[in-house]
């Protein structure tokens, strides 16, 4: 698996990351969602540079022009609920893409390992597509792996791009074991060193779903 760490170089993405992490700014829920979308748009641009293009003749009011146009069949898949704000930036950028959704939830019981369950899938056919699996937080990597296996019920993509805002080093190692080949790319804005006992990324930013949509019961 190839890893592209966008935050390793200076760019406006780091400004958005600073606001996402800052506890003094996080109370502004619309801004939090907006920053997820901003990072998604910047990341989508970088992903777009790796796609396939063909020359297309476009007629203007004054003539014609050959323009390279993306020809990939793009499908953007995301994990509900935390992922809802993040994929919007990808859909705004790739306005010809299809979209799919899977619902995942974590079950935490005292003295027992964390369990992840999937209970909903709505997705188009992804056979032969360029599939973007987008989720803001890559903690253990378990929910993302389960989500991808669920999407595979609708076909096998020709290329996989995993797109995250923050990834833990443990989560990255897990994905590397799941996706050992170079035809999978992980795009990430920031990499944090560890996760805590509750499987939250540290220092991270907290619960992206709660910060986007309110505290869940």
Taking the domains of the chain in order of start, what are their residue ranges?
Answer: 2-213
The pTM of this model reads 0.92
Q: Which residues contact 62 (CB under 8 A, 6 or more apart)?
A: none
5: pLDDT strictly greater than 90: yes
pLDDT confidence of 110, banded at 50, 70, 90?
low
Structure tokens at 101: 């959704």
In this predicted model, what pLDDT tens digit does every residue of 38-90 receive, in sequence order?
999 999 999 999 999 999 999 999 999 999 999 999 999 999 877 789 999 99
Q: What does the longest C-alpha to C-alpha distance in the chain come to?
A: 71
Domain 2-213: top CATH class: alpha beta
Nearest Cα residue to 43 out of 81, 1, 76, 82: 76
Q: What is the pLDDT of residue 101?
A: 94
Q: What is the pLDDT of residues 154-171, one digit of tens each?
A: 999 999 999 999 999 999
Angle between helices 169-178 and 142-151 (to 10 degrees): 30
Say how far apart CA 143 and CA 132 lie, in whole Å: 15
């Amino acid at each position: 698996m190839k890893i592209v760490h966008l935050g390793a170089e200076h760019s406006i993405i780091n400004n958005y990351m600073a606001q996402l992490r800052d506890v003094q700014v996080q109370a502004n829920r619309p801004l939090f969602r907006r920053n997820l979308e901003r990072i998604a748009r910047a990341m989508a641009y970088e992903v777009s540079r790796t796609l396939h293009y063909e020359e297309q003749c476009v007629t203007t009011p004054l003539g014609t022009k050959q323009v390279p146009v993306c020809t990939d069949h793009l499908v953007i898949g995301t994990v509900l609920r935390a992922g809802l704000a993040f994929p919007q930036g990808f859909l705004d950028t790739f306005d010809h893409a299809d979209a799919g959704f899977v619902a995942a939830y974590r079950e935490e019981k005292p003295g027992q390992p964390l369990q992840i369950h999937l209970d909903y899938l709505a997705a188009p056919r992804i056979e032969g597509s360029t599939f973007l699996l987008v989720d803001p937080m890559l903690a253990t990597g378990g929910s993302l792996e389960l989500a991808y296996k669920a999407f595979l019920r609708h076909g096998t993509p020709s290329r996989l791009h995993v797109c995250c805002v923050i990834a833990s080093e443990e989560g990255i190692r897990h994905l590397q074991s799941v996706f050992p080949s170079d035809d999978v790319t992980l795009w990430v804005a920031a990499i944090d060193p560890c996760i805590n006992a509750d499987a939250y990324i540290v220092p991270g930013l907290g619960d992206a779903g709660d910060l986007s949509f309110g505290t869940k019961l």
